Amino acid sequence: MRMSAFGAAITALLTAVAAEAAPVETSLRPVLRPGTVTPLDGVVMDAPLRSVRPVVRPETLPQAEVILASSNPKFQNWINGFRGRALSQGIKASVFDRAFRGTRYNADVIDKDRNQAEFKRNIWDYLDSAASPDRVSEGKKALRKHKSTLQAIERTYGVEAEIVTAVWGLESRYGTRKGDINVIEAMATLAYDGRRGPFFEKQLVAALKILQSGDVAPRNMKGSWAGAMGHTQFIPTSYLAYAVDITGDGRRDIWSDNPADALASTAAYLKRFGWVKGMPWGVEVKVPKGFGATSAKRMPSDWAARGVVAMNGKPVPNHGSARILMPAGPAGAKFMVFKNFDVIKRYNNADAYAIGVGHLGDRIGGGPAIQASWPRGYTPVTFEQRKEIQRRLKRKGYPLEKIDGILGPNTTKSIKAFQQSIGVTPDGFPSADLLQQLKRN
């Protein structure tokens, strides 16, 4: 449904965007939606709402010419042509001109789009980051801090607070990495570039409709390089279809310091695609020897009759039909996954992402870490040792911005560069051998 901050990295790794669906309601106005949106009446908000409402509403702005700062004449010509197409779809000239004032062709956006497939992670490295000790600890703090808001959202939409918090944690690290790129500029650059021109032009029109609705001012419409916005990284078309105003202030404000609308919008999205409260996303299981990959769906009691049981050796409760997922093959962890697993995949259509959200939600709620081992092929290091690897790489001059224990693309590239410099196989793994090599060299 979107590409993310951490989610941008995720999408870069997994290259997945969930399918769009029909809007809950056709109105673009940020009004209360009967049967869908319940304002937080009587709830003490966890953080003050910072208004980003434009002082002058877009529809009252005077007519103006598009003022471009682009040094790319072809890009400027494309914008001039797109202006007519946008206006034919109901965008007001004043809104368009204000949104595009100062827009430039952003080469950095194209570079990120071109290099998505260069960075891949194994499932265990991905989950090490998705449910890292820091991310779990931060998630528990976020859950406590926003307890009243999340409880109200859970009552309204029937999506557990821990799952909503986990999506927030993976998408923007609980609001700390929402993205700071001008969404109009990014969408226009990608639409002009043409690799996925029709898709991004559709997103660009949707972004202009958001501005026209008055939900946000152009200067505050910031997001990732791929146009994912706010605390939980909605792309513009999904925002129009599913974003809600649960605070009742007349705006669906997913960018505000107060995350209430963004978190409620995420819950509304999951509910729209069939989230079942009380049903787990999945359960780690043990399978009998010789158990092979299968796409069959059975009730947990049926799986138990075939030797598939929870890690405690007992049958998994009958939460509904489920299938067995082995993301690393027979040698890694196995999961019995239910309908809610597929609902999470509507947010980002990748098994790793759905496991990451589900497992992080479990950990935030006090659940255990994944118990089975992974076929890593190397001796793993602890989370603190990962940080030590990053610190040592940075001291050696490799371009690492953050010491966070997360194996992101910069860390992987730096590890490979260091390994090449000492003449060993550049596998990029954060292994015990790598740490010793960094200490010796």
Instruction: List Cα–Cα distances, 31 to 38, 44, 242, 367, in angstroms.
Output: 11, 21, 12, 38
pLDDT value of position 34: 28
pLDDT value of position 54: 31
Lowest mean pLDDT among 7-16, 55-64, 199-208, 222-231: 55-64
284 backbone dihedrals φ, ψ, rounded to 5°: -70, 135
Structure tokens at 217: 């001012």
CA distance 206 to 212: 10
Ordered structural domains, the chain, with CATH = 6-272 (no CATH), 282-364 (1.10.530.10), 383-440 (no CATH)
Return the SS3 of 283. strand
Return the SS3 of 128. helix
The string of DSSP letters for 162-183 reads: HHHHHHHHHHHTTTT----EEH
Structure tokens at 56: 């002058």
Residue type at 62 in one-letter notation? P
At residue 120 the predicted structure's pLDDT band, cuts being 50, 70 and 90, is low
pLDDT value of position 121: 76
At residue 119 the predicted structure's pLDDT band, cuts being 50, 70 and 90, is low
CA distance 332 to 384: 23
Instruction: Calculate mean pLDDT across residues 249-278.
Output: 97
CA 92 to chain centre: 31
Note the pLDDT tens digit of each residue in 59-108: 333 333 344 444 689 999 999 999 999 999 999 999 999 999 999 999 99
Structure tokens at 122: 């194994």
Note the pLDDT tens digit of each residue in 178-195: 999 999 999 999 999 988
Note the pLDDT tens digit of each residue in 285-340: 999 999 988 889 999 999 999 999 999 999 999 999 999 999 999 999 999 999 99
- Helices marked H in 67-182 — which ranges? 73-88, 93-100, 107-114, 123-130, 133-145, 147-157, 161-172
Note the pLDDT tens digit of each residue in 338-377: 999 999 999 999 999 999 999 999 999 999 999 999 999 8
pLDDT value of position 71: 64
Contact 230, 243 (CB under 8 A): no
CA atoms within 13 A on the CB side of 400: 28
At residue 112 the predicted structure's pLDDT band, cuts being 50, 70 and 90, is confident
118 is catalytic: no
Kindly report the pTM of this predicted structure.
Answer: 0.80
Note the pLDDT tens digit of each residue in 123-170: 998 999 999 999 999 999 999 999 999 999 999 999 999 999 999 999
CA 292 to chain centre: 32
Of the candidates 160, 162, 171, 201, the residue annotated as catalytic is 171
Note the pLDDT tens digit of each residue in 10-59: 343 333 333 333 333 322 222 233 233 433 433 333 333 332 223 333 33
Q: Which residues pair with 222 in a beta bridge?
A: 182
CA distance 137 to 231: 18
Using only C-alpha atoms, the chain has a radius of gyration, in whole angstroms, of 23
Scored b (16 or more CB within 10 A) or e, 175-193 reads bebbbebbbbbbbbbbbbb
pLDDT value of position 1: 57
